Structure formats: C-alpha cells, structure tokens
Structure 1
Amino acid sequence: MTSLQGCHNIDSLARLAQRYLPRLVWDYIEGGVDDEACLVRNRQAFDGVTLMPRYLVDVSSLTLSRSLWTQTYAMPLGIAPTGLAGFARHGADLMLARAAQQFGVPFVLSGAGTASIEAAAQAAPDQTWFQLYVSREQRITEDLVRRAAAAGVQHLVVTVDVPVHSNRERDVRNGFVPPVKPTLSAIADALCHPAWLARFAKQGLPRFESWAPYAGEGASARQIADLFTSQIPFTQTWRDLARLRELWAGKFIVKGILHADDARRAVEVGADAVWVSNHGGRVLDSAPSALSCLPAIRQAVGPQTVLLVDGGVRRGSDVIKALAMGADFVFAGRPMMYGVAAGGQAGVAQALAIFQRELSLGVAQLGGWGSATHTPVQDQGL
C-alpha cells in the first residue's frame, strides 16, 4: 500500500484517501451537483491554459512568498473552507489549521466546520480565517461574527452562493443528506473500511462545534446538526451583506462571485476582497469555471481590489495560471481533504509540500513570476 512518502502528487494522495474512506464520505468530498459537469469544467479551464517560459534568466533566488494586506504568506496558496471535515478524520479542522500554521499559509475554517472558531484560532493564531454562512436568525449570525473577532480572527469570508440547497445526487444516493440516514449499501461499504470505522466507533460523530452554543447545553451531534440545517441556507441580499460589513472591523471577503457586476457591487458595499468561486462545482452545475471569470472580474474591479479564487486546483502550475489571469491568491479545498483523510496533519503537510515543490519548479521554469503569461481561456458562461 502506498504511504504518504510515496505520494508525489495530489492525485496519489486522493487515491490513498479513497482507500481509507467509506464511499459516503468519499462521495461527499469528491462529488458535485447534478451531472457534475461543473467539476469537469473547473479542471478543463486549467487544462486549456498554457504558460510561456522565458529562459536565460537568473532564477537562483526566487521566492514564493506573497503578501496580502499586512501579512506575508509563504506561498500564494491557502486552505479553502470545507464543511464536515471531521467526517474524513476526527479532528480534521484542527489538523488543517496546524498544518497551515506550520507552512505559513492561510486556513479558512468553514462555517460548517467540526471545530469551533475559538479552537481553530488557538491552533493557528496567525493563519485562521473564518467563513460565515448567514443564518436565518440574525442573532446567531451576529454572535458568530462577534466570537470570530474575540478569538483574534482578522479575516471574515462571507459565502453568498448558497441561497438554497443544491442537488448533490451522490449524497442523496448514500443517504448523506439531512436528516442523515445512510442507506444499507452505504453502511455495508463503511464496514469494509475498518480503520475509519474504528475511529468513529471510539470517538462518536463529529459536531458543528461553532454552532453548539446555540443548540442548548448538552445538545447531541444530531441536535446541533438539526439546528444548523434549519438555519442554513438563507437567501441573502445586498442589504444583509452591507449590514455584515458594518459589524466586522477586519478584512471583509465576499466568496462565491462569478459575475463582474456582482464583483463591482461587492466592492461598493465594502468588500476588501472578492473570492471568485463556484463552490467547487457543488451548487450550480451549469455555472462557468471560476478561472474563466477572472479576467472580466479583474477588469471590473481594477488592480487595487484583492481577488481570490478556488475550484479545480490540483497542481502548482494551476496556481501560477490563476495568478497570471488576475488572481492575487489561490485556495484549494479537496487536495487538503485528501491529505487529512490519507494521513491526518502529516497528510495535509504532504499536500502543501507537493504544491510548494511544484510551485518552486514551475516559477523557475518560467523565468520568474513576472514572466508568467498565458493563453486566454474561453469564457464558458452564456
């Protein structure tokens, strides 16, 4: 069996993770929505971009570090928010946070995370951002924002692309949708993954820890999950976004933007950054790839607005392509989940090390960051 040390790219980490995980958890991580065409589109967008190298350039002292506002990160890649990470491995969110702290890159705790805001901020005090799902009850939203600030979090990421539930058919087939009731075939498959099963038999179901205070003292994992799913999703408006901007004193990031006009309006509301994303292909199957939307959004908001992007990132060269097309920083979600499933914190570190190595080689081959140019990716939207 392949070990972490034998994983030399993200795909090999994915294969190791798939062997460890039962199908219902693997499908949750890997799956998209409807026919999963958007998943394919995200990858095709990167595959359709080439980079032009320039040689006879001194590349002996290149750096991967990248600054965002007042903080400098070791490389222009961070860990995107991923809900229910604890189903991949108990304690996964904190493993992700600690690996981010180790490598000096940002970690974004999901609003559907299985560690609390406070615990994540303590595990990675310099790197933790918080991603917020706006609740139907304003008091919960406001308290989550207050707690994030009190924990020392300086970056609030507000996700706006989930106005309603999406049709994730893999999860439906496995019974991994609220209220969770795994099918008999999914249960039988889980029995074939004894290492994963043993951990859950010993430690129990993970909980939405940030939401535990709102479910009442002594609430079970099921009760907390029921509360979460009764509150999320909530159909936000620009008025809700403006109110959140008033509540938050730190950096305010709007995630889930694909249209240039929406990006421009988010900046007008007060966003410090726009995060170009189609939610990893998990909300609207006919949405364009995030990468293909970058040039128009960059033109709309100008050079001064920070642009972040995710969706389909699997190689260091993907990071370079996204930066060449207008992004300031890139985030990856599934690769980090492969890592944490395959080997816990060490697996996340392996994923980050793979990206770091590929980035170093790629930038040097291109002749430096300033030499990276690209062929335009076709706009896949209508």
Structure 2
Amino acid sequence: MKDFFDPRLPDVKSLKQKARQRIPGFAFDYLEGGCHDEIGLLRNREDIQAVQLRSQLLKPFEKSDMSVELFGHKYDAPFGIAPIGLQGLMWPKAPEILAKAAADLNIPYVLSTVSSAKLETIAEISEGKAWYQLYNPTDSTIREDLLNRIKVAGYKVLVVTVDVPTFGYRPRDMKNGLAMPPKMTLRNILQMLSCPRWLYETALAGKPEMQTLKPYMPKGMPTDQLAAFMNKTVMGRVDIDGLKPIRDFWQGPLVIKGLINQEDVAAAISLGADAVVMSNHGARQLDVGESPVAPLQKAAAKYAKDIKIFMDSGLRSGTNIASALACGADFTFLGRPFVYGVGALGNKGGMHTINCLKTQLEQVMNQLGCATVADLPQFLVKHE
C-alpha cells in the first residue's frame, strides 16, 4: 500500500480531471476557486513555472537524497500537506485519509482549524505526527481552550495562519451558497446525484461539519450564519501583539503562515517563531497580491540563517517543488493536489499523490545532478 501508484493518473493534471468528475460542482468550486477575478491563481502558476534550473552533468554524482530534517524529525521528502478547510465536503473522510497517508510515508500533514475532522481524531490517526494550523480566535476563551486541546492531543508543531483578516471575496462560493453542511438547493442536489460515489461515501461518513469548532458554535445556529460566526469569533486579524500570547503559551515549534514581505518575516523572527510560510493563501484572499516566488527569494537571501522559510501556493508538481526549494525554501506545502488525489482515488489517493510527487522530484534532482535538497539553490538560473 505504501508504494501505491496508479500509472493511469501520473500527474496532478490528470488527478484534477478525474476528481472533477467525482466531486459535486459546488464542492469542487470551493477547492479550485480563488477570489475576485481569480487573477492571483494564474499569477501563482505562471511565476513558479517561470523558474528555471540548470543541470550539472559532468561532475561526479551518485544519487539524490530527498530527506529533510525539521524540528528534530527527519522527513522522507521536502513537502507536506497544507491545511485546507472543509476537506470532508470535497471528499468524505479526506482529512483522515490524508493524515494516515502522510504518517505512513513520513511527511507532515497540517490539520486546518476549519477541518471536517476533530483535532483529537487526526492526532490519533497520525500517531502524533500531524501539525496543527490555528486561526487565532478573537475570543480569548476559545483560543485558550483550543491551544490546550492541541497540546493535550500531542501535536508537536503549531502553524498560525495570519493572512485571513477578512473572509475572502469568492464569487464561486457565493453563487453556490456554500455552507457546512451544504445547502439543499435544487442545483446542489442535482450535482450530488451526479456523483454517486461521493454521495455513497458521504452517507457512510455522515454530513460534513467543522468538528473541531462544534463545541464553540451556538446550538442550532443556521448555516447561513456560519460565515458571520467564523469572521467574528474564529478568524480575527492577527498582528504581532496577537501572536505574543500564543508564543508565550506554545513551547514547541511555532510556524507563522501567510507572510509575503520581508518586514513581516523580521517581525516573526523578533517574536521567536521557528519558521514562516511564504504564502498568499492559494490566491484565495487578495487577487492583486504577489505570488510567493519573488518574496521567498528576498526573504531567503536576508533571513535564511535566522529562521526556517517554507513556501506554499501554486505548487502542483515535483518540478514546482524543486523550483521553490531552489529559490530558497527549506520546505514546501501543497494543498489542492492532495484533495484532487483523494477525489480521484478515494482511500488510495493520499498515497498515490505523495508517491507521484516524490517520483517527479527524484527525477528532477537526478537529472540536475543534485545530491541533496539543500543543494538545489546551486542549480537556479538567475536572471539579472
């Protein structure tokens, strides 16, 4: 099972095509969409695809090693599964499937605060290897309770997302009337009926809900009030002062996710953060924002010795992972590709997607003549 790979779906593009056929349109739109005019989605892809690497073919070389050590743990590949909310809406039990695959293949899985699985459930499935992503609650009582639950469950790494001070303006979700659980409009019902496997698996799993947050939601709250509850209670603006009590409480590795400029990286260093994720939230928050590629290179050039620098947003292949690492990232995260994988292949989708990306990355590194992940910046083609 750990070596599972379906050659009929050898890349993320084919996984996406297959997943689109098996996931109801409103749920696929939530996964796929950006904000406003979705220009940022295109920019993310164009910028990472524009990165070029140069082979060194005549120097002595035996084989590549993809392993990376982070926070005292040696991972088998330099990428992990990024947090995505409502995963169980897109494919039933997606968080459980992906957390188990990540643990078995020794890469990090990051559980979202707004996941459809309880944080305690994922901690058990991952055998304590998962990371937890926190939206800093504006309600201090909720924040303290969540942090205590995370600690008691045994999570070792805390990732605080800071780039969602407002709900993203996402036209696809507005048209679909997206909610948890999904609204039973005629259009949505027809989309569900067109995906019998999804419907069957959902019936077995139960309706998707934000399990971790259920204790904090008013009983009987209408689904159309969910966004207002989230915006008011769970997803407040996070500045440096808002991060200080989290840093004071959390004694393990702390990662600040969603930075895009050097000033914020410097502030994270002054806070005592252990890592930052250069990210624009998958182009789901600010359509006119930069992609992370150029900011990553600037931050790595200035702060690589002071803090670990990760990247997500726009990565879709082993080639993209190699490019991000060559631009200075210590580690990378991908979100959508793994949900495509589960949507396409169900329980085997996590294993397949991880193995697919590992195989692609290994081929790139061997073609370059690159022995270790840390050596990849030596192969970056720099344009003056």
Q: Which residue of 2 aligns with 1:174?
A: 176
String of CA shifts for 1:248-304, please: whole Å, max 9, x gaps.
Answer: 010011000001101111110111101110000100001110112101112332423
Match among 123, 126, 129 for residue 124 of structure 1: 126
Identity of aligned residues (%): 34
Gaps of 5+ in 1: none
Q: Which residue of 2 aligns with 1:7?
A: 9
Q: Secondary structure at the match of 1:267?
A: helix
Give yes or no for contact 2:68–2:74 (8 Å, CA) kept in 1.
yes
CA drift of 1:309 comes to: 0.4
CA drift of 1:116 comes to: 1.2
The residue type paired with residue 101 of structure 1 is A
Q: Which residue of 2 aligns with 1:342?
A: 344
1:1-382 correspondence to structure 2 within 5 Å:
4-177=6-179, 181=183, 183-215=185-217, 228=230, 230-368=232-370, 369=372, 370=375, 372-376=378-382
CA drift of 1:200 comes to: 2.7
Give the whole-Å Cα distance in 1 for the aligned partners of 2:16 and 2:341.
7
Give yes or no for contact 2:342–2:348 (8 Å, CA) kept in 1.
yes
CA drift of 1:5 comes to: 4.1
Q: Normalising by structure 2, what TM-score? A: 0.92
Give yes or no for contact 1:73–1:104 (8 Å, CA) kept in 2.
yes
CA drift of 1:374 comes to: 1.8
Give the whole-Å Cα distance in 2 for the aligned partners of 1:313 and 1:7.
18
Give the whole-Å Cα distance in 2 for the aligned partners of 1:35 and 1:377.
30
Give yes or no for contact 2:181–2:208 (8 Å, CA) kept in 1.
no
The residue type paired with residue 258 of structure 1 is I
Give the whole-Å Cα distance in 2 for the aligned partners of 1:149 and 1:185.
42
C-alpha spacing 1:316/1:150, structure 2 compared with 1 (3 Å): same
Q: Secondary structure at the match of 2:379?
A: coil
CA drift of 1:63 comes to: 1.3
C-alpha spacing 1:294/1:377, structure 2 compared with 1 (3 Å): farther
C-alpha spacing 1:304/1:35, structure 2 compared with 1 (3 Å): same
The residue type paired with residue 367 of structure 1 is G
CA drift of 1:69 comes to: 2.5
Give the whole-Å Cα distance in 1 for the aligned partners of 2:290 and 2:383.
11
Q: Identify the range of structure 1 (249-258 vs 179-188) with the bigger mean alpha-carbon deviation.
A: 179-188
Q: Secondary structure at the match of 1:72?
A: strand
Give yes or no for contact 2:269–2:306 (8 Å, CA) kept in 1.
no
The residue type paired with residue 374 of structure 1 is L
C-alpha spacing 1:223/1:30, structure 2 compared with 1 (3 Å): closer
CA drift of 1:215 comes to: 3.5
How many residue pairs match? The answer is 375
Give the whole-Å Cα distance in 2 for the aligned partners of 1:200 and 1:225.
21
Give yes or no for contact 1:208–1:221 (8 Å, CA) kept in 2.
no
Q: Identify the range of structure 1 (115-124 vs 228-237) with the bigger mean alpha-carbon deviation.
A: 228-237
Give the whole-Å Cα distance in 1 for the aligned partners of 2:15 and 2:197.
17
The residue type paired with residue 275 of structure 1 is V
Give the whole-Å Cα distance in 2 for the aligned partners of 1:244 and 1:63.
35
CA drift of 1:34 comes to: 0.6
Give the whole-Å Cα distance in 2 for the aligned partners of 1:156 and 1:322.
22
Give yes or no for contact 1:205–1:221 (8 Å, CA) kept in 2.
no
String of CA shifts for 1:25-59, please: whole Å, max 9, x gaps.
Answer: 11000100011111101110111111010012444
